[in-house]
Amino acid sequence: MAADRPDNLVIGFGNPFRRDDGVALEVINRFRREDGLPPLGLDEDGTDLPGKTADTWMLHQLLPELAGALAGYRRVVFLDAHLGRIPEEVRVVPVDEEYSLQAMTHHLSPGMLLSLTRLAGGAAPQGWLISIRGEDFGYGEGLSPTCRANAAEAAHRLHALLANEIGTK
């Protein structure tokens, strides 16, 4: 791992042009402001902007090409929206490596990406997923009021997780 790089990586994924599907960008930007960094713009992915507590990336989806870049981080936290099939407004769970690649997919789950990272670099970071309930996934920018409140809670939980103060509840 590079000496000037933090040991934590936060990867948000989703589409900020599909309303609540872009909640990860809101969480990342809240986190960046609290960490004394400028927010990411809609046209920035953050991969070339070093962080303090954590590097922060905002992507449309997880891809196999990311595996090599994850090697060397101690912990990676994935941020994503969920549709409401999960009972909690904000859920924080550990991510285990998965080994079931699907032949007809253009993206990966966080667990499959961790597995590919192990294959690419010999070790995979500890993985966590923070899933945030959204309610409006239509075309447009901006979050619904409920999702914006959930984003604030998710940013709080992200800070706690990175400070090792949080369990899975």
In a domain, 167, yes or no: no
State the total domains in the chain: 1
From the list 14, 21, 17, the residue with the least C-alpha distance to 134 is 21
In a domain, 94, yes or no: yes
In a domain, 3, yes or no: no
**The whole model's pTM is what?**
0.91
Q: What is the pLDDT of residue 169?
A: 41
| Confidence grade of residue 88 (pLDDT, cut at 50, 70, 90) | very high
Q: What is the pLDDT of residue 106?
A: 55
Please give the average per-residue pLDDT across 5-28, as a whole number: 95
Please give the average per-residue pLDDT across 119-134, as a whole number: 92
Q: What is the pLDDT of residue 168?
A: 41
In a domain, 98, yes or no: yes
In a domain, 1, yes or no: no
Q: What is the pLDDT of residue 72?
A: 85
What is the percent of the chain where pLDDT is above 90?
73
Tally helices (H) and strands (E) across the chain: 4, 5
CATH of the domain at 20: 3.40.50.1450
In a domain, 22, yes or no: yes
| Confidence grade of residue 78 (pLDDT, cut at 50, 70, 90) | very high
Q: What is the pLDDT of residue 107?
A: 66
In a domain, 169, yes or no: no
Structure tokens given for 14:
């989703």
* Least confident among 37-46, 103-112, 153-162: 103-112
Amino acid symbol at 54: A
Q: Please give the Cα distance from 69 to 101 (Å, whole number).
A: 19
Pairwise pLDDT comparison (104 vs 80), residue with the higher score: 80
- Full domain range(s) for residue 128: 8-162
pLDDT tens, residue by residue, 47-69: 999 899 999 999 999 998 899 99
In a domain, 92, yes or no: yes
Neighbours of 150 (CB within 10 A): 26
Q: Please give the Cα distance from 147 to 49 (Å, whole number).
A: 26
